[in-house]
Chain A
Amino acid sequence: MDTKYIRNFSIVAHIDHGKSTLADRMLELTGTITQRQAQEQLLDNMDIERERGITIKASAVTMEYEYEGNTYMLNLIDTPGHVDFHYEVSRALAACEGALLVVDASQGVEAQTVANAYLAVETGVEIMGIINKVDLPAAQPEVAAEEMEHVLGIRRNECFKISAKTGEGVQDLLNAICELLPGPEDRGDEETKALVFDSHCDPYRGVICYVRVFSGSLKVRQKIRLMHKGRSYLVTELGKFYPEMTPVEEIGVGEVGYIVANIRNLADVSVGETITDDAAPADEPLASYQAPMQMVFSDFYPGDNTEYARLRAAFEKLALNDASFSFSPQNSPALGFGFRCGFLGLLHMEIIQERLERENDVDIVQTAPTVSYEVVTRDGDVRRIESPSELPDRTHIEELREPFVRLEIITSSESIGGIMKLAEGRRCKLIKTDYLNPTRVLMEYKAPLAEIVYDFYDLIKGISRGYATMDYEFTGFEATNLVKIDILVNGQPVDALSLIVHRDHAEQRGRKLIIKLRRAIPRHQFEIPLQVAIGGKIIARETIKAYRKDVTAKLYGGDVTRKMKVLKRQKEGKRRMKSVGSVQIPQKAFMSILDTGE
């Protein structure tokens, strides 16, 4: 097909701003699906995504559209809505020439919109501003358009005002896509280069890769090569999504489709991979490859130790369809056998967690999420650690680096003070404050990821009465004054309770933690000291008093059965706790380190 009639574009939007509805309406107006089919938001495949209003995995749909007498091929490439999937979003955008940036007319620009717009700008695609939901009574399309211009530099008079729900303005938008967005460059004569921008695993056909052909073309039975992995495969099937998978003989230059080539494991073909012809390979791959970077880690232990194998099986299943999730066996002296899991970010973690519980009936104990750190040792070695327990001895550490992010928060102007105070306490450095209008403000921070990884979002939601939105992008590792806090329970250090924190906060965090532990650990027959140690020095102590009385006063004939049951329950309660020396620690105690206690 002539590339001047091809349009490859994405829709990017904040959660609930109507991305999926707009996609449905386009599919309908182009006759790709019927209205009834559109009732199911086709682009979102998984339950959790639909429930949470998030699209996790990108997919692509090909539509045909008549405009001014010509048939256009419109390839709508869906993107994950969250910047945890930053890299996936950037790859989806890289497969496009244009992006539709959708903003809810009643909500205006949100933090995620900003983050997505930055990404689109970085990728160099043409951005079209869309103000959606203009049919809502609360819609303020002019205000939203002004924010678009102010924050994102999209001219307000160039924004399209639509209602994806009623269909108002969507036809004009389709016309504008044909009219205004550039088509792909015609490099059909060059060596084949196709970008893998997404993939998923099909139980029968193996890995299905979503590709965009930048030069040359792909044909069935062609021998292809994955340029980064260096492996070759035979193409067994090519196709397009209409939106059903429809086999084709060839995917031409500028086009989008899927490819099946007997690739067994998702891990064999990373997003960002370049596919070329095995016989006539390109010299250079497309400049895009980057391994998924896991920023957040958490240990998962089976609630019951006998469930270890089931937990492993559950993780294996999850990893099959999510190459950016990783897990490795972990053995904690305190918690027994479990797995250390790596996630792209917090949302990714929550999704995995939910899926684990929903799709597999496994009770899990999860430790506090932590970030990865970079350790520079005295001999100049730089390595990544994922848990405080991996930290080498103090004397071997030259420098400890932690991940930083660019954090965008959009909130109401009256909550600025509260959020600034919170952010300051979390070592966040304010880069800029930008009033979108007199009542809304965009705050940009440089923030240590560790400080916003757990409860920060909930807290700013609380401070702003639900108004604030936030998003962040990883910017790099930087050395800060970090120390490891060890917690000793009855004189014994408990690895699962260790923390890496900034020195300025260490004592306070340690003190709060042992106060929480004091409440979470039940009393024993003996007194239990809880201590905080930094670099081997005890800096704080709490004591769990021994219980003084725990005995059934009366036990005669008629009570035996009932009292035995009470004792069995007591024994069972002990069993479900983890023994550290002679101290039984309930699982909730391990979670108390999550809580920074604001």
Chain B
Amino acid sequence: MNAYATPSDEEAIGLYLHVPFCERKCPYCSFYSEPLAEHEPAPLISAMIAEMDRYRSVRSFHTVYLGGGSPTCLPVQELARLLDAIRSHCPSPAEFTVECNPGQTNAEALAMLRRHGVNRVSFGAQSLDTDELEQLGRRHSPEEAIAAVRLARKEGFDNVGIDLIFAIPGSDLAGWRRNLELATSLDIQHISAYSLTYEPGTALDQARRAGRVEPVDEDTDRAMYELAIDYLASAGFQQYEISNFARAGFACLHNQGYWHNRPYIGIGPGAGSYFQGRRALNAPDIRRYVEKIRTGEEAWEQSEPIGRDERVCETAVLNLRRRQGVNLAAFRQATGADFLEVFDNPVRRHEDQGWIERTPDAVRLTRKALAVADSILCDFSAL
């Protein structure tokens, strides 16, 4: 066993696949994607399958997550080809999620996903309000999202989640409450609720800079966040991470792997991996990616080893995003470091100010710290 306690490949490894196609780019989105109409998907899917083949040595993946982009915008035969390949790599993952665009979901597609072993679907609903969806530049309607969720249940998915965005320009607390009411009235198990982020380089951010878009004020943003936590709890959705809520037993296993800081392999253009002590990012360009795979090159364009200190810090930051916080024993096992010893100073300081609380086995952010978590987590970002 090496002293740095890097995770062994036996550990639960996640598999993420990034389908970089969308019908068209949403103005707030900063993930890598391209309009499908401009590309031939088959060579990319072949390249992704080839990249996956490079990880034959990984005996099995604990979880699979197919995201994007919009995987559901792929032609059915290409999607099926990809799903077949995934299945041959990992026949029975504990969780197999596919992100679905509510506007692109029909019974056939859902049935096909089921057939290929997908056991969880996550709908990018974003909002259940027509005006808000329009503000976000989304093409689907609230009705479509609701119908898609019902259809998924009907097709036999018993683990369905939706994404919601709050603090959309022009929205208010009452509107957000209506979103939450409607969402929790659906037969779903998981809700991700994100405050709208103005990511640099996005069309939305440009609009904000140009003054064409007025962000929701900070107090309202905060109130919306607090409302989400309270309202969702009252509706049976427990918060288990900064932005994630689930009914008991339905927390997303794959994403929990990230916050636990377990290894994962990312397949496809722009996908990130954390494997064998390195973080790497695949070429975020379809053409370059395909070429790299074709010529037998590594798929990544950036890669850096994660040293012991970085691992300690990343693990701390990621763990603290979880509602359960840092499990001291698990932290020691994963990093070889004593959390309370390494972070004695910030833990004490923030504990004094009521941002951090401790139990005998864990350290976590207090409820009031969640909304300002970065200002606390930054003190754990370096030693």
- Residues of chain A contacted by B36 (CB below 8 angstroms): none
Does the CB pair B270–A558 fall under 8 Å?
yes
- Residues of chain B contacted by A204 (CB below 8 angstroms): none
Q: How far is the CA of A532 from the CA of B304 in the complex (A)?
A: 51
The answer to whether A556 and B374 touch (CB under 8 A), given A525-B355, A549-B218, A568-B381, is no
Does the CB pair A560–B279 fall under 8 Å?
yes
- Residues of chain A contacted by B225 (CB below 8 angstroms): 549
Q: How far is the CA of A566 from the CA of B381 in the complex (A)?
A: 9
- Residues of chain A contacted by B266 (CB below 8 angstroms): 557-558
The answer to whether A555 and B271 touch (CB under 8 A), given A561-B279, A564-B381, is no
- Residues of chain A contacted by B281 (CB below 8 angstroms): 558, 561
Q: Is A118 an interface residue (CB 8 A)?
A: no
Contact among B259, B317, B375, B379 for A547, CB-based, below 8 A: B375
Rounded to whole Å, the gap between the CB of B325 and the closest CB of chain A is: 15
- Residues of chain A contacted by B272 (CB below 8 angstroms): 557-561
Contact among B274, B314, B355, B375 for A570, CB-based, below 8 A: B375
| Complex: chain B residue closest to A571, CB-CB | B378
Q: How far is the CA of A548 from the CA of B218 in the complex (A)?
A: 6
- Residues of chain A contacted by B197 (CB below 8 angstroms): 552-554
- Residues of chain A contacted by B318 (CB below 8 angstroms): 555, 560
Number of interface residues of B (CB under 8 A): 52
The contact string, 1 if C-beta is below 8 Å from chain A, for chain B 240-264, is 0011000000000001001100001
Count of A-B contacts judged by CB separation below 8 Å = 113
Q: How far is the CA of A520 from the CA of B168 in the complex (A)?
A: 29
| Complex: chain A residue closest to B219, CB-CB | A548
The stretch from B113-121, B140-148, B336-344, B365-373 touching chain A is B365-373
The answer to whether A564 and B317 touch (CB under 8 A), given A550-B374, A558-B281, is yes
Rounded to whole Å, the gap between the CB of A379 and the closest CB of chain B is: 45
In chain B, positions 157-193 with a C-beta closer than 8 Å to chain A are: none
Q: Is A551 an interface residue (CB 8 A)?
A: yes
Does the CB pair A560–B258 fall under 8 Å?
yes
Q: Is A433 an interface residue (CB 8 A)?
A: no
Does the CB pair A570–B374 fall under 8 Å?
yes
- Residues of chain A contacted by B264 (CB below 8 angstroms): 557
Does the CB pair A567–B378 fall under 8 Å?
yes
The contact string, 1 if C-beta is below 8 Å from chain A, for chain B 267-291, is 0001111100001010000000000
Q: Is A34 an interface residue (CB 8 A)?
A: no
Contact among A524, A554, A582 for B194, CB-based, below 8 A: A554
Q: Is A505 an interface residue (CB 8 A)?
A: no
Q: Is A574 an interface residue (CB 8 A)?
A: yes
Does the CB pair B242–A553 fall under 8 Å?
yes
Q: How far is the CA of A550 from the CA of B255 in the complex (A)?
A: 22
Q: Is A526 an interface residue (CB 8 A)?
A: yes
Q: How far is the CA of A525 from the CA of B14 in the complex (A)?
A: 35
Rounded to whole Å, the gap between the CB of B362 and the closest CB of chain A is: 19
Does the CB pair B313–A551 fall under 8 Å?
no
Q: How far is the CA of A574 from the CA of B376 in the complex (A)?
A: 11
The contact string, 1 if C-beta is below 8 Å from chain B, for chain A 31-44, is 00000000000000
The answer to whether A525 and B375 touch (CB under 8 A), given A555-B321, A560-B272, A568-B382, is yes
Q: How far is the CA of A558 from the CA of B269 in the complex (A)?
A: 11
The answer to whether A553 and B194 touch (CB under 8 A), given A525-B372, A560-B318, A564-B314, is yes
| Complex: chain A residue closest to B273, CB-CB | A557
Does the CB pair B271–A570 fall under 8 Å?
no
| Complex: chain A residue closest to B217, CB-CB | A548
Q: How far is the CA of A547 from the CA of B274 in the complex (A)?
A: 33
The contact string, 1 if C-beta is below 8 Å from chain A, for chain B 289-305, is 00000000000001010
Q: How far is the CA of A273 from the CA of B104 in the complex (A)?
A: 94
Rounded to whole Å, the gap between the CB of B333 and the closest CB of chain A is: 20
Rounded to whole Å, the gap between the CB of A492 and the closest CB of chain B is: 15
Does the CB pair A556–B378 fall under 8 Å?
no
Does the CB pair B372–A549 fall under 8 Å?
yes
A-B pairs with beta carbons under 8 Å apart, 5 shown: A551-B372, A555-B321, A557-B272, A564-B381, A572-B382
Would you list the 9 A-B pairs with minimal beta carbon distance, nearest first? Answer: A558-B272, A567-B381, A548-B222, A570-B378, A553-B194, A551-B373, A571-B378, A567-B378, A548-B218
Residues of B that sit less than 8 Å from A by CB: 14, 16, 18, 31, 194-197, 218-219, 221-222, 225, 242-243, 255, 258-259, 264, 266, 270-274, 279, 281, 302, 304, 310, 313-314, 317-318, 321, 349, 353, 355, 369-382
Residues of A that sit less than 8 Å from B by CB: 524-526, 547-561, 563-564, 566-568, 570-572, 574, 582
19 further A-B pairs in the complex, CB-CB below 8 A; given A526-B353, A571-B378: A525-B355, A525-B375, A547-B218, A549-B372, A550-B373, A552-B373, A555-B258, A555-B321, A556-B258, A557-B14, A557-B264, A557-B266, A558-B31, A559-B272, A560-B279, A561-B279, A564-B310, A567-B381, A570-B381
